[in-house]
Amino acid sequence: MRARACGKLILCGEHAVVYNHPAIALPLELYTTVEVEEGFGPLTVDHELWSPRHEIRMEEALDHLFPKGNAEIQIRSELPVGVGLGSSAALSVAVCRAIGLEGDALMEKALELENIFHGDASGLDIAVAARGEALWYVKGKPLQPVPLPPCAIVVLDSGTAGDTKVLVQSVADRYDQLEDTIEDIGALVHAARAVLEDPTSLGELLTENHGLLKQLGVSTPALDQLVDLALGAGAYGAKLSGAGGGGVVIALTDDPDHILKSAASAGVEAWLARSGS
């Protein structure tokens, strides 16, 4: 059977969502497609685009799902790995769908796989990959669809990858010092929900969220520079998106071309994730 699942962009609330605060995330129109056929003997996996670190975790996740082997799996993905776009969640959901899981059973099994990639994941990435819609997400609570911001979203790529498992653990290790910042992120996400359809106010909150993620120690100089580049090119707001440590920055704007041109002149790879219309 063949199935696919989408990637995601976190608008706000990453890391704090692990500690039961809300987060808001959007689906990306980039997909991982998995085909599973019955096999005889050990599991065989045909894939491309995986970093060695991901490859090891992917093998572990698939061994968990197919403990007896006897399957041939083909994985194709439009999502780059380790840059905050939800590639491991898309894979986890797609492979569970390809073996016929749906509903709560799909979510539960996909989260088991995602935890092999990410440690103690909040389930946010899995929820968006499975539902394919913008969500207000609180761990263990019913999923709530939310409207998409009525403006364009540009993604700027730092050109490096972060390791979500390591970053989530590094926040956990310093939780006592970081608790106030994590609480502030939670409060900011509540404020963001009230202004989701007002790009100016939402943008300001996203930039503030980036500052709080910096305080958590998950940003990098390259990500901070991308935020400055986007703001300098007129973005309503910009922040790192995902676990950080590398990966991408998102920028809200009504003039994506301006940001895309500024990025190109700075030698930064950037693309339009949503046109806003």
Residues interacting with ligand MEV, by CB under 6 A? 10, 14-15, 17-18, 84, 118, 121-122, 124-125, 164, 168, 242-243
Angle, CA 215 vertex, CA 223 and CA 183 arms, to 5°: 125
Using CB atoms within 10 Å of the CB of residue 104, give its burial: 0 to 12 exposed, 13 to 18 middle, 19+ buried.
exposed
Smallest gap from Cβ 69 to ligand MEV, in A, equals 29
Smallest gap from Cβ 262 to ligand MEV, in A, equals 26
The tokens for 171 are 């926040």
CA-to-CA distance for 49 and 88, rounded, in angstroms?
Answer: 12
Give the single-character DSSP code of 244.
-
Residue 84 or 149 having the CB closest to ligand MEV: 84
Residue 92 or 164 having the CB closest to ligand MEV: 164
Smallest gap from Cβ 120 to ligand MEV, in A, equals 7
Residue 194 CB partners (closer than 8 Å, separation 6+): none
Specify the DSSP element, H or E, that contains 100. none
Is residue 125 flagged as an active site residue?
yes
Smallest gap from Cβ 119 to ligand MEV, in A, equals 8
Residue 149 or 244 having the CB closest to ligand MEV: 244
Residue 164 or 220 having the CB closest to ligand MEV: 164
Report the candidate in 166, 164, 137, 178 with the shortest Cα–Cα distance to residue 241: 164
Catalytic residue from among 125, 157, 176, 184: 125
Pair 241, 9: CB distance under 8 Å: yes
Q: What is the distance of C-alpha 128 from the center of its chain?
A: 9
Report the candidate in 218, 11, 263, 36 with the shortest Cα–Cα distance to residue 133: 11
Smallest gap from Cβ 19 to ligand MEV, in A, equals 10
CA-to-CA distance for 260 and 184, rounded, in angstroms?
Answer: 31
Residue 11 or 238 having the CB closest to ligand MEV: 11
The tokens for 199 are 């790009």
Catalytic machinery residues: 125
